[in-house]
Structure 1
Amino acid sequence: MNKKRSQYISYRTVFIFALMVLFVFIMLLFLAVIVIREQDYGLGLTLCVIGLAAILYGSYNWVYKPYRETSKAFNLFAEGLILQGIFDMRYPLSPLMHRATLRFKDMLDTKELINISKKQAEYLALQNQINPHFLYNTLEGIRSEALCTGMNDLAEMTEALATFFRYTISNVDNLVTLEDELVNIQNYYRIQQYRFGDRLNVNVEYDDEDEMEVLMLKLPKLTLQPIVENSIYHGIERKIGKGNLRIKIQTTSDRLLITISDDGLGISGEQLSNLNKRLREISLDGVAPTPKQKGGIAIVNVNNRIKLLFGEEYGIYMYSTENVGTDVTITLPKVKE
């Protein structure tokens, strides 16, 4: 059999079937000759059993085991646990399936998926086709008017809002430093303080002694803010009394670990399990934001961007206890340049 064709399970199945038909024909012919000449049925039956056992053994190793390997890869893909695995299968089912998979790989351009994620990052200010420059100029005009009339608090809030939008929309495709992300969080916290006042407290902690070196590590833009917003909206906002949000930053020899914790209402076990299941996979869910994704950027989308940029071993995982709080752990590679 052609070596290239032999990698396909469909060709192997056809070959084994043809071999079995040929074997049955030869055995029947051979058995007939033996019976006519020797009148010995036992020898013929023995040879049939041995030949059939050899074919079944070859079928198991040459067809069934490769099929199980391929089937497992497709099952893992269907569950969202792997992406590249279906492009690296040793035993495609058929030439048609192999061509379809390669075509899918060509269509599934990682850059295109990342661009889809970027659209969500821009959605907050572009929801109604608002021109960003028009938005900046309008906010600056409000700020100037507020300063002229002595409304300093309004001027400061407008400035914070303009800064936040500027950071959110500009150069979404770039990696930024951890310091840039934390500055954006501080600015976002200023905006939320006008709403929550003393009810909300945000604190940043570092485990690493060389704080400046850690602040220069790179990560995808708008990684932290959507998670902080999710913690405030789903955890702290509905809580009676004060709410605390902590951002803890740790590093290992090759990883950057960021844990965002809140002491809000927490998540039920079933919801937490479903959410972590979604976070283990790469999904295009949420390309069109829904009311449930309030804040502009879903956590799932942030997780997708991390996995697409750095690999499936990185991403987000959540821990939560109802009426105690929630921890969101972000695992990233240590990128210095």
Structure 2
Amino acid sequence: MIVVGISYIIFIIISYISYKYVYVPYKENSKVLKLFAKGYTIQGIFDQNTFLSPEIEELTKKFKEVIQGKELITASKKQAEYLALQNQINPHFLYNTLEGIRGETLNAGLDSVAQMTEALETFFRYTISNVENLVSLEDELCNIENYYIIQQYRFGERVNLKIDINREDEEKILKYKIPKLTLQPIVENAIYHGIEKKITNGNIIIKIEATKNRMIITISDDGSGIEEDLLKKLNKKLNIISFDNININNRKKGGIALVNVNRRIKLLFGEEYGILIYSRVNAGTDVEITLPLIEGF
């Protein structure tokens, strides 16, 4: 009887140890690795406190070094450069702008032609040069205003732009750094995929808020909105970090794709930052960008 009792106690102890130090770590590792395989999480692998073997732990440490190394930053910079040069200046935008210049010239509106040409020149210069750098929010907003001037020659009063920022903290907020060419592609999408489809006038509002640790920029339009199924697919893509190389033959309309802007933000700052889209058909779209607060220097 005593032997049976001791055996039972030993069985319970072995079961507990097996559960705590084998089964639980296995389930945790399995869950994180499955999510990683689907592209949803990277940081979770690094946060693991238990590993099934020293070899797996060593492999994870090595992988973290690669992820945080120069290879990823270099890839991000090359991606930004390539996207800016190949996708940003798309034919749809360029041809309509040149057509606007031609029409103004025919009407002998020399002052307005000069203004439009200056805005176009400033926009291209900002877009193409030093695309890998972080820039001040103020510079990004100036680029948006230039872009808006250009679009007014095509859409006139059909498109209205407003920038909403807390006046008390405006000077400080405008000095925070963000990745270059973050806002313009989203404003472009709002115009061409939202407001252009409307019969009536449309509005775009860029709202900027700063918390203790984050900057939240929301670009809202009252355009045609996005259907629910497509919205779910877009947000799913935005939740996944893809390490695929850029296809040099992939030319997307509407400037730099939202997915690529989001990917760059996540690669530079981490998975907790990026883009999320809210939308309703015939009601408009909100694109929320979350960034860390980076002081100007």
Pair in the same fold by TM > 0.5: yes
Amino acid at match of 1:330: I
- The alignment partner of 1:309 has SS state of helix
Equivalent position amino acid for 1:255 in 2: R
**Bigger Cα Rg:** 1
CA distance in 2, matches of 1:329, 1:92: 36
Which residue does the alignment assign to 2:188? 229
Q: 2:277 aligns with which of 312, 318, 323?
A: 318
Query: Kindly tell me: are residues 202 and 291 of structure 1, through their superposed partners in 2, closer, same or farther at Cα, counting changes over 3 Å?
Result: farther
> Do the aligned partners of 1:205 and 1:246 also contact (CA within 8 Å) in 2?
yes
Alignment RMSD (CA, Å): 3.2
TM-score by length of 2: 0.80
* The 10-residue stretch of structure 1 (48-57 or 300-309) with the greater mean CA deviation from structure 2: 48-57
Kindly provide the CA deviation profile for residues 135-168 of structure 1, in whole angstroms up to 9, marking residues without a partner as x: xxxx9xx99xx7xx97554443333222112111
Choose which of 250, 254, 259 in structure 1 pairs with 2:209.
250
Contact 2:84 2:131 in 1 (8 A): no
Matching of residues 142-221 of structure 1 within 5 Å = 151-221=110-180
Rounded Cα–Cα distance in structure 2 between residues aligned with 1:270 and 1:295: 21
**Counterpart secondary structure, 1:320:** strand
Determine if contact 2:39/2:241 at 8 Å carries over to the other structure: yes
Mapped pair 1:73 → 2:23: no
Change (3 A) 1:249 1:322: same
Amino acid in the other structure paired with 1:85: G
Equivalent residue runs for 1:1-337 within 5 Å: 48-109=7-68, 111-123=70-82, 126-127=85-86, 151-284=110-243, 287-288=246-247, 293-337=252-296
* Superposition deviation, residue 253 in structure 1: 3.1
Larger RCO of the pair (alpha carbons < 8 Å, separation 6+): 2
Identity across matched positions, percent: 59
Q: 1:58 to 1:255 in 2, by over 3 A?
A: closer
Aligned to 1:16: none
SS at match of 1:232: helix
In 2, are the aligned partners of 1:243 and 1:264 still within 8 Å (CA)?
yes
Give the secondary structure class of the aligned counterpart of 1:127.
Answer: helix
For residues 233 and 298 of structure 1, the distance between their equivalents in structure 2, rounded to whole angstroms, comes to 13
Q: Structure 2 unaligned segments of length 5 or more: list them.
A: 90-97
Q: Deviations over 1:275-298 (max 9, x none)?
A: 222223323368337768423322
- How big is each residue's C-alpha offset from its partner over 1:116-141, in whole Å with a ceiling of 9 and x where there is no partner? 3444443466339x9xxxxxxxx9xx
Task: Confirm or deny: 8 A CA contact 1:239 1:264 kept in the other structure.
Answer: yes
Task: Tell me the matched-pair count.
Answer: 282
Corresponding letter in the other structure for 1:75: K
